[in-house]
Amino acid sequence: MVENKVTEFFKAKGFPLVAQFTGEDTATVAKAAAVLGVEEGRIAKSLAFLLKDGTPIVLVAEGTARIDNRKYKDTFGCKAAMLSHEDTLQVTGHPVGGVCPFALPETVKVYLDASLKKYDTVFPAAGTPDSAVCVEVARFSEYTGGEWVDVCKLPEAAL
């Protein structure tokens, strides 16, 4: 089994999660869904943002969801400002395409969007652009320390 900081994190916490390292590019929702053989909505995409006060966050949302600017501003008190590719790696410790809500520095807060709740299980990345892990949505907050929010919208076809 491939070891990385996410698998080490799972072991250290005693979580029954196993990262899958596919050897194939899973860096986008479409690529991950194709490699894993699941619908795009079940890919839990992790996006890195910076809040107005400088606090970095990782927001995890259903694969086809988009940020709803009004909901985001109402929830976080500022406009959505994604981190650059370089800052994402520096702040989260994970490269773009592998950003996930696990094994993050303590300064990074995790938020889980309500769009994920329509699924029993979802597949976030596991720290690399060729990895994923199957997570029970009911236990996602437990595994990440994340807080549930509602800041996304789904495309009309996904409703």
Q: What percent of the chain has pLDDT over 70?
A: 96
**Would you call 37 exposed, middle or buried from its count of C-beta atoms within 10 A (0-12, 13-18, 19+)?**
exposed
Q: Which fold has domain 5-150?
A: YbaK protein (3.90.960)
CA distance 83 to 13: 28
Contact of 135 with 152, CB cutoff 8 Å: no
What are the domain boundaries of the chain?
A: 5-150
Confidence of residue 157 (pLDDT cuts 50, 70, 90): low
pTM of the predicted structure, to 2 decimals: 0.94
Which pLDDT score, from 0 to 100, does residue 4 have? 87
